[in-house]
Amino acid sequence: MSTNAADPMSGFDTTIHAPNRLRICALLDTAGEAEFGVVQEQLGVSASVLSKHVTVLMEAGYVEQRKAVRDTRQRVWLALTRQGREAFRAHQAALRAIVGP
Amino acid sequence: METNEAASQPTPEQARAALADADEVRASVAALSATPWPVWFVVAITAMFVVLPIALGGMLAEPDWLMPRWAWLVTMLATEVLFFALFAVAARNWRARTGVALRLDVLPTWATVAAAVVLPLIVVGAAYAFRDTRQPLWLFGAVAVGVALSVGFHLWFVRLHGKAS
């Protein structure tokens, strides 16, 4: 996705804009990296719903995951990719442009 | 499952609501990121701020002060090694407990940078002042600044965590 500094609306991203995906991106942008269960808890969604949204974001190249052990169990950690972070911030700028001054 | 088709360009009200929703998530996660370190680690880091200026002062002292300079050097290195080992354990536990990444930008940049630059200057400056004057008050002053910083930062995290929760 290309972003044009002169036109914030070019950053509007339909993949990110879906409410839960926007919240996932906001969470990961703030946290840096978060465990799947924490994201689920913060968003108040089921594991399957979160998994579907994460899959969409991963297919878009916006989110990456890694597996690590927490409390002796293997957990999935999620993080925004560089592309995802840029897309999310551009999308936020587009939303602000829509809201106006 | 939300679809891309459903996400056509929003109205200003919808955009405002989306931004507010994102801000709400940010605030909630910010509370997690500001989770204070365990008290045992705050005690450890505070103890390091007590030992470091005194050990550095002893290392630079001419002639020897209380014990040989090499002993002060060993004390300082042992303190550092112990501190970094405890830091590794505390960081791992913190991540496991919170489920989010450890971030160094939770506090305002000015505070973090000021602490990272000013404290070492005070510790080293106090050690040289002690070497020149033989007045241990310089070292105790640096200890007081370090302890105040450690406790102050911890309380700041406690406040941020409670506020954002």
Kindly list the strands in the beta sheet with A73-80, ordered across the sheet, starting from the edge strand earlier in the chain. Answer: A34-35, A73-80, A63-70
For B6, nearest residue in chain A (alpha carbons): A18
Q: pLDDT per residue over B9-26, tens digit each?
A: 889 999 999 999 999 999
At B31, the pLDDT band (50, 70, 90 cuts) reads confident
Q: Are B15 and A99 in contact (CB under 8 A)?
A: yes
For A12-62, write each residue's pLDDT tens digit: 999 999 999 999 999 999 999 999 999 999 999 999 999 999 999 999 999
Annotate B98-152 with DSSP letters as a single string. H-B---S-SS-HHHHHHHHHHHHHHHHHHHHHHHHH--THHHHHHHHHHHHHHHH
Q: Give chain A positions within 8 Å (CB) of B31.
A: none
What gap in Å lies between CA A92 and CA B160, rounded to an integer? 25
Average pLDDT of chain B to the nearest whole number:
90
Q: What is the pLDDT of residue A71?
A: 64
Domain range list for chain B: 9-164
Q: Which chain A residues are closer than 8 Å to B95 by Cβ?
A: 70
Task: Look at residue A69 in the predicted model and tell me its pLDDT.
Answer: 72
Q: How far is A20 from chain B (nearest CA, A)?
A: 8
Cβ contact B9–A70 (<8 Å): no
- Amino acid (1-letter code) at residue B75: T
Query: What are the tokens at B87?
Result: 């830091």
What is the mean predicted confidence (pLDDT) over B50-59? 96
Q: State CA A10 to chain mean position distance.
A: 18
Distances, alpha carbon B137 to alpha carbons A49, B129, B141, in Å: 62, 10, 6
Distance from CA of B33 to the nearest CA of A (A): 7
Closest residue on chain B to A93 (Cα) = B19
Residue pair A28/A63 in contact (Cβ under 8 Å)? The answer is yes
In sequence order, which residues have a C-beta less than 8 Å from that of residue B137 and are 6 or more positions away? none
Closest to B101 measured CA to CA, from B44, B54, B161, B34: B34
Instruction: Report the sign of the C-alpha dihedral through residues B82, B85, B88, B92, in that order.
Output: negative
Between CA B97 and CA B120 the distance in angstroms is: 31
Chain A touched by B88 (CB under 8 Å): no
* Biggest alpha carbon–alpha carbon distance for chain A: 50
Q: Which two tokens stand for residue A24?
A: 């996932």
Q: For residue B13, what are its two tokens? A: 């009200």
Q: Which domains does chain A have, with CATH numbers?
A: 8-99 (1.10.10.10)
Q: Is B86 near chain A, with CB under 8 Å?
A: no
Q: Does B8 touch chain A (CB under 8 A)?
A: yes
